[in-house]
Amino acid sequence: MTPEQRASVWRQMTPEQRMDAWKRLPPEQRQAIRQKLTPEERDAIRQHMQEQRAANGAGPGRRLSAEERRQLRDQIYESNRARPPHPGKNGR
């Protein structure tokens, strides 16, 4: 397949298909592709990825207050107490 054909196929792929194809490439091939990018192309990709992360709500949420953390701990503790004990290795 020529580079032009590969570029044409790439443009027709969904973002999920592109990500899957990229992840399946060996690290050496990914590095070779990155080295061929111009600084402007790298910046455009970086900017696009930052926009996607922001749009998807990626990143840490707000921090819990001390009271909220205490309530969460209490809820976890109560939930664990309500569960039956695990039988362990010997089934006891």
3-state secondary structure of 89: coil
For residue 59, give the DSSP letter.
S
For residue 61, the model assigns a pLDDT of 67
Q: Which of 64, 66, 47, 67 is nearest to 55 (CA)?
A: 47
For residue 77, the model assigns a pLDDT of 93
For residue 34, the model assigns a pLDDT of 86
- 0.75 exceeded by pTM: no
For residue 66, the model assigns a pLDDT of 93
For residue 58, the model assigns a pLDDT of 59
Residues of the chain with pLDDT under 70: 57-61, 90-92
Per-residue model confidence as pLDDT tens digits over 18-43: 888 888 989 999 888 889 889 999 89
